[in-house]
Amino acid sequence: MIPVTTAQEMRALDEATIQGLGLPGVVLMEHAGFGVLLHIEDFFEGLKGKNILVVCGKGNNGGDGFVVARWAMSRGAQVEVVLLAELEQLGGDALINASVFKKLYPERLHCVTEDAGVLEGLLGWAEIVVDGVLGTGLSSAARGLAARAIELINASERPVVAIDIPSGLSADTGWIPGPAVDADLTVTFGLPKVAHYTFPAAELVGDLRVVDIGIPPQFVEKAGVLTHVPEELDVFLLFPPRPLNVHKGRYGHLLGVCGSPGKTGAGIMTAQAALRVGTGLVTMGVPASLNPVFESSLLEAMTLPMPDDDGYLLEGALEVIANNLEGKTALAIGPGLGTNPSTVTLVRALLAEVDLPVVVDADGVNALVGVLDLLKGRRAPTVLTPHPGEMARLLGTIPGEIQSRRLETAREFAREYGVILVLKGAGTVTALPDGRAYVNPTGNPGMASGGSGDVLTGIIGGLLAQGMDAGEAAWGGVYLHGLAGDKAAQEKGEVALLAGDMIEVLPSVFKEWEEWSASVL
């Protein structure tokens, strides 16, 4: 797992390192700036002879920029520094490094307080721009000279390296509050920040690199960071090798409640995905009039025909489900279900009366509008997987509001209603009731197509049915879903990617993991 911090958490870690180890802040700044320089050298394949413009604000981000500038000069680059302040306005470690740079290269320091013409001219000269304007403490839109500098940097169309975070972004969210640097490379310190992985802000980060500035691992562990980015090894470890003496009953029995006219494919893909992640048995509870479609398409899964009206499940299906719960270990509710009033009543009754782990998606989520409090009474784990539009309907707001506060919205909802909330989209967020959250790094734009969410429902439902911890089933399922999408896109391309391609590639993912496991045992 990659811990991902807020600005406050990172400041606390810096302070703990300074106080706990007696390590001066100026030393941390030197490590940070030199680390940035090394990544710039690697990214641009050397710096000798290159024209580099470093744009510094008056905070510590600017202080890091002065360290970068000094080291770049020693590596043979031609460096100019624009400070968006007078030198006397700086303090602390930033002032120390700015003063050192001025003593060494006074003719290369340009202090700008009003007219940005000097900056604009130097941007035309530069081959690489280093952004040290604003750091991680920003909580509102950049204004004044800083905003103008950001706009000029972006307009220059020069390659940009952001120190710690692209200036103009809020480190704690995916929100872009105003003008923000669009970086090609971002080099951050200690640990990544929330904005580095959370969209839409993550689109401006470019290639993300992390510099180790000497924060001891035990300090990170003690800090209790609540946000993490899973790695493939974390998900691999959720699937231990299967013993030789095993039978299908050991790997659970998922009951899906899916289907309505014109949407049978959603439930079919849910079943297929659940089977492909190793679920022992899958039964799809479907409208009786549509049962022939499901039976003809699902050779390995079973079906449970239930009362319907013109293909929409009726409330009376609850009795059929109750009579067939023996041996079932989890539910998947929603794919292709429709919003017929009787079907909505059925979904609500299922969640209120059936105490099995459940994943709720699509029209199952829509059925909860106005009755969210029923989630608080559930005695078994509940995983909701809305996209931003569905989340907006649940909360009575607009998708744009959800997208501007993805991590906070997911975390607040999970805490209030005691559920695991999977907020889909680029950088899918999985939030747990205890405050932990996971930002997913896998997936690609090709997955934004019909059926992708149904595949995810099948994956998570199948993992729940197998008895996996609900939180792990959620964030692990999301990672696996995105990984399958990435592997399928490598073969098919993003434009032509279909949801079914993700199901087809799941066996190759597990095969790779089995080979990996065999090689290390």
Q: Are 186 and 217 in contact (CB under 8 A)?
A: no
Q: Which two tokens stand for residue 284?
A: 């799809």
Strand order in the sheet with 420-423: 2-4, 227-229, 437-439, 429-431, 420-423, 382-384, 358-360, 330-333, 253-257, 281-287, 302-306
Residue 26's pLDDT is: 86
Buried b (16+ CB within 10 A) or exposed e, 65-91: bbbbbbbbbebebbbbbbbbbeeeebe
Can you point out the beta strands (E) in 113-159?
Answer: 128-132
Q: Which two tokens stand for residue 13?
A: 């870690």
Residue 270's pLDDT is: 97
d(CA 184, CA 170): 18
User: CA-CA distances (angstroms) from residue 156 to 102, 150, 449?
Assistant: 26, 10, 35
User: CA-CA distances (angstroms) from residue 488 to 430, 463, 476?
Assistant: 23, 21, 18
Q: What is the pTM of this model?
A: 0.89
Residues 6+ apart with CB under 8 A from 319: none
Query: Per DSSP, what are the bridge partners of residue 420?
Result: 383
Q: Nearest Cα to 80, choosing from 124, 45, 20?
A: 124
SS3 (DSSP) at 275: helix
Domains observed in the chain = 2-225 (3.40.50.10260), 250-520 (3.40.1190.20)
Q: Where is 209: in which H helix or E strand?
A: strand 207-211
d(CA 403, CA 177): 12
> If the chain, 521 residues long, is cut into consecutive pieces of 10 residues, what is the mean pLDDT of each piece?
86 78 80 93 92 94 94 94 92 92 94 86 94 85 91 95 94 88 94 91 94 80 86 92 72 95 95 96 96 92 95 94 95 95 95 96 95 94 96 94 90 97 95 96 93 96 97 97 96 93 95 82 57
Residue 27's pLDDT is: 84
Peptide bond into 388 cis (omega under 30): no
Residue 242's pLDDT is: 78
Radius of gyration in angstroms for the set of CA atoms belonging to the chain, rounded to a whole number = 27
User: CA-CA distances (angstroms) from residue 236 to 1, 9, 280, 328, 511?
Assistant: 12, 29, 19, 25, 11
Using alpha carbons only, give the angle 138, 139, 144 rounded to the nearest 5 degrees. Answer: 65
d(CA 45, CA 43): 6
Residue 248's pLDDT is: 62
